[in-house]
Amino acid sequence: MSSIIYFGSIFLSKVLDNALSTTKTILIQSSRWLLAIAEKPSVARSIANVIGAYKREDGYLEGSGYIVSWCVGHLVELAQPQAYDERLRKWCIEDLPILPDTWKYQVSDGTKKQFFILKKLMERKDVTGIVAATDAGREGELIFRLAYEQAGCKKPFKRLWISSMEDSAIRDGFENLRNGHDFDLLYEAAQARSWADWLVGINGTRLFTGLYDRKVKVGRVQTPILAMLVERQKQINGFQKQKYWNVHLDLDGLDVVKEKIFDRAEMETLVEKCQNQSATVTCARSMEKTVSPPKLYDLTTLQREANRYYGYTAKKTLEYTQSLYEKKLVTYPRTDSQFLTEDMASTAERMVHRVKRVFDMFRQSSAEIDICRVLNNSKVSDHHAIIPTAEIEKQDLSVLSEGERDILLLISVRLLMATGVKQRISETEIKVSCGGEEFFAKGKTADPHGGWDCPGTGFTGGGKVTKAHR
């Protein structure tokens, strides 16, 4: 009996040892954290909600093995000239140009608190790795790398590279984190851009301020654009209007015209010669042609058309689009591509149908769809074209600001147009002779049975969107 108890005690002891060992392993594993650093608090909250970091702390959220914090834009910036040499605090033309041999950085005054929160998190022994979750672009890369390097962090880091803030995109991004050093060249490009801004801005501003004895701001981008605006304004101010006349003949409902006669006497002579005279049709020809749909929006094209249709500045359009991105309604805005990758074919087709369901003006559309027109892997580098996301069906769009609704509608309309088939058009040209002069009439009609710009789809004027469409 005693031997049974003895062996039973040994058995229980081993079971307890194994249990304690397992518990210890679980505790060790749960004490390892992955620090994800976003660009701003709103993006950090969206990421945290998806990966389960629900516990709020000062300057970060944590949970499920993740710590999620943020940068509040640029936490670290290039140092001012006096950081290199105290005598450069005073602006003197004789000290120019200022060309640092080694670039120095400093923590921005307004964001020191958040920087030191991040630095402390990076230094925690239970944080075993970093995830760069700033915006997936050149500027986002710079924001993360400068904070990472200024903090003196040497821990390995991965890159979250996504084009949408949808929950599914975030989840997929964390399941497929990329090697952080895959983006070293992007970081170097961002550094080069920031150094160029500093060199031109610091040296140019100090030079022209000294020359004109008043502060004159000079910028790498600002100054050339300002010069272009001034030159264009000079052309406008110097433009001389030139009066001309058009002579029209009404031929039983057919209007033909002789355009741009700059001499009044010549115009009056032509009118007299044609008065009550017969006119002869010397040529009438028709030709069939097709017009391809426009491409999807990249940021520049979107900014141009938002200005054309709504009068929004490029900056305001970017603000609205960035806000829609953070609300998960459109994909990443800072893109130079007008195409989607070929693996997005089914996604694009589903989005076309979603847009038709969300916007009343498109619900009756039966326009043919050609998704292949917008797919091209070779034309997509970092990010694909801007398109709406599946969230437009889930969210109440009426709570958006007027500007956000305008931009979302533009992007949605462009998706429908870009995925349409070629528009078939018949163009007719008529030439008429009267009084020894030739008059012309031109017209075109679109095939009512198909095409990206056909009647009934809600498109007007080759894609013009008016506020009345809402």
Catalytic residues: 332
75, 111 Cβ separation under 8 angstroms: yes
Separation between Cα atoms, residue 446 and residue 454, nearest integer Å? 7
**Rounded (to 5) percent helix, strand, coil in the chain:** 50, 20, 30
Name the residue with tokens 């701001």: 217
Separation between Cα atoms, residue 382 and residue 113, nearest integer Å? 32
168: Cβ contacts below 8 Å, ≥ 6 apart: none
DSSP string, 328-386: TSB--S------B-GGGHHHHHHHHHHHHHHSGGGTT----B-GGGGB-GGG-SSS--B
Local structure of 283: helix, strand or coil:
strand
Separation between Cα atoms, residue 187 and residue 185, nearest integer Å? 5
What sign has the CA pseudo-torsion 213, 217, 221, 224?
negative
Name the residue with tokens 């630095």: 119
Which ranges of 101-182 would DSSP assign to H, the alpha helix?
112-123, 138-150, 167-175
